[in-house]
Amino acid sequence: MSQPSERGLFIVFEGGEGAGKGSVLSAVAEWLQAQGIEPLCTRAPGGTPEGQVIRSALVQSGANWEPSAELLMMMADRAQHVGRVIRPALAAGRVVLCDRFVGSTLAYQGGGRGLSSKLIGDLQAVAAAGVSADLNILLDVPPAIGLKRSLKRLAEEKSSEDLFERLDLGFHERVRASFLEQAAGDPEHWTVIDARRPIAEVVDDVKQQLLSVIEHR
Ligand code: TMP
């Protein structure tokens, strides 16, 4: 496999709750390592120590933020994440694998909470200052299936980061519709993978997509 160029490669994994992003991202990172590519793996919110503070305040059960406050906090996390982690890694030519980015903001704060895409786009322009994904990989799963998976995992991990999981199915259906709409509107930068299937099959599809992106750059 050819090495990433000086500009690096920014790959974002998106999807609703329980889509399996974390497991797929880890499997793909191991596969890249076996090819001699050391990816930088990160996530949003919470990809910096400062962002971790924002994450804990945002996604704990019982948090009750105004939608606009929630959006501003996601964007504060983004500015810190891009400035301190993502941009320097790309400038150093690294492959960055990121669990969620602006697609999630458009899906959750836009589709889910009803905030305008224009407002989100304007704030994203400030927070990310030109950094955007080379490829967004949407792991698509119907919310009824994903939420069940996600609540099971949170219970196993005794995690209280379940703010979004506790929202109704209608919210999660809007999140999914927004992701699918984003993907349909920008096929050059999005690919949709059916994540209802066994993880090995999902990982194989993601590898094919990455090979094609790496080879065509
Ligand atoms: P995670 O469960 O994938 O780690 O993400 C934490 C939650 O944060 C998840 O429910 C989606 C939500 N989120 C947003 O609402 N807006 C955003 O911009 C991001 C990055 C995540």
Residue closest to 99 by CA, chosen among 216, 15, 7: 15
pLDDT tens per residue across span 21-78? 999 999 999 999 999 999 999 999 999 999 999 999 998 878 889 999 999 999 999 9
135 CA → ligand 1 middle, Å: 18
Name the residue among 150, 42, 152 with its Cα closest to residue 90.
42
pLDDT tens, 111-153? 999 999 999 999 999 999 999 999 999 999 999 999 999 999 9
d(CA 45, CA 80) in angstroms, rounded, equals: 10
Q: Are 16 and 143 in contact (CB under 8 A)?
A: yes
Whole-structure pTM value: 0.95
Cβ atoms within 10 Å of 189's Cβ, excluding its own? 15
- Ligand 1: centre distance to CA 207 (Å): 24
Out of 23, 52, 106, 108, mutate this one to test ligand 1's pocket (max ligand atoms within 8 Å of CB): namely: 108
CA 3 to centroid of ligand 1, rounded, Å: 31
